[in-house]
Amino acid sequence: MKKSKYYLFMVMLLAVSMILAACGGEDSEEGGGEGESEPDILGLATGGTGGTYYPLGGTFANMIKDETGIDTDAVTSNASAENMAMINNNEVEIAFVQTDIASYAVEGTQMFDAPIEKIRGLATLYPETIQIVTTADSGIESVEDLAGKTVSVGESGSGTRLNAEQILEIHEMSFEDMDIQNLSFDDSTTGIQDGSIDAAFITGGTPTGAVEGLAAQVDVVIVPIEQEKAQELMEAYSFYSEDEVPEGTYSLTSAVPTVAVQAMLAISADLSDDLVYDITKGIFENTDQITHPKGEFITVDTALDGIGIEVHPGAQRYFDEQGVEAE
């Protein structure tokens, strides 16, 4: 009898243990998202080798590894839109992205069929200048002159492509007015040089490597976006700001007016607050290691300007300690 009671007790104890374990598993799975993960390797999605994300990504990867002790790989990609998908698919944890594309990803609008819920902001970095690149021999001097020409508008799904569409819209034009090509920055400048295309939209920090390479071979022209049209664009899309390609860039003899969005770093909500704090600290306390010209814009004081999406709590903790507030 005692033995039967003992067995019954053990069976009941085992059943209770299994129930508790199941409940614990459910809680773990449910809460295993935001703020818990600390992977052995971090992936940092950049862009094509001819843009600004790629060289900066290598520098950031080194700074993050030095601060956290975690190996960090900077990987090439088709930039903004693809980078958001890569975070969503757990292919990378950190990614460069335009602020407008990050907002579209969170909202599930434009090129995104549904909201990407795991994206958080880490920091804004520098202006991403929209450059309409051509040559002196093309005869293209205005946006309207692009009509009837062969023009690269950026890779499919890229932020550049959407920028091109919106700029043309303000000029009462569309992709149907030209023969469009969806090319990377490197392929765009190669196409301009060999004459297979006439012009290209390139959104990136200036100077952009691919355009510098082109300027070494031919006389580069940056097509202006005049102030009146820039104002219309900013009224229609609040994430744009006025900008210019400075005199001397690409051997330009004078500054060229245009517009810009902001480059930012997005990060997975899955990463622990402590890890993201260390990543943020590693970047902003080592900006002296950034040799790219855009490094002068990357400061903690402006790191929340125009970020537009929810900031990861780990990054927010660092900015709170520095007394930095969003504007």
Domain containing residue 58: CATH number:
3.40.190.10
Same domain for 216 and 311?
no
pLDDT tier for residue 327 given thresholds of 50, 70 and 90 = low
Q: What is the extent of the structural domain holding 309?
A: 41-125+263-322
Euclidean distance between CA atoms 129 and 305, whole angstroms: 16
Same domain for 288 and 253?
no
φ, ψ at 227 (rounded to 5°): -55, -40
Where a domain ends, among 214, 233, 261?
261
Percent of the chain with pLDDT over 90: 80
Same domain for 256 and 271?
no
Average pLDDT over the chain, rounded to whole? 89
Count CA within 13 A, CB hemisphere, residue 248: 0
Residue 18 lies in a domain: no
Mean pLDDT of 155-159: 83
Residue 228 lies in a domain: yes
Euclidean distance between CA atoms 285 and 288, whole angstroms: 8
Same domain for 143 and 229?
yes
Euclidean distance between CA atoms 228 and 217, whole angstroms: 33
Mean pLDDT of 241-245: 94
Q: Which helix (H) or strand (E) holds 27?
A: helix 2-31
Where a domain ends, among 261, 276, 305?
261
Same domain for 226 and 270?
no
Where a domain ends, among 239, 261, 283?
261
Specify the pLDDT at position 106: 96
Q: What is the pLDDT of residues 17-57, one digit of tens each?
A: 444 334 443 333 333 345 677 899 999 999 988 889 999 99
Specify the pLDDT at position 30: 34
Number of domains into which the chain is organized:
2
Same domain for 101 and 176?
no
pLDDT tier for residue 156 given thresholds of 50, 70 and 90 = confident
* Per-residue pLDDT at 13 exceeds 80: no
pLDDT tier for residue 8 given thresholds of 50, 70 and 90 = very low
Residue 296 lies in a domain: yes
What pairs with residue 127 in β-bridges?
262
Same domain for 101 and 114?
yes
Same domain for 148 and 67?
no
Residue 206 lies in a domain: yes
Euclidean distance between CA atoms 161 and 70, whole angstroms: 34
* Per-residue pLDDT at 163 exceeds 50: yes
Euclidean distance between CA atoms 324 and 299, whole angstroms: 11
Same domain for 140 and 242?
yes
Specify the pLDDT at position 238: 82
pTM above 0.85, yes or no: no
What pairs with residue 263 in β-bridges?
98, 126
Specify the pLDDT at position 103: 93
φ, ψ at 120 (rounded to 5°): -130, 160
Specify the pLDDT at position 256: 98
Token code pair at residue 121:
């902001």
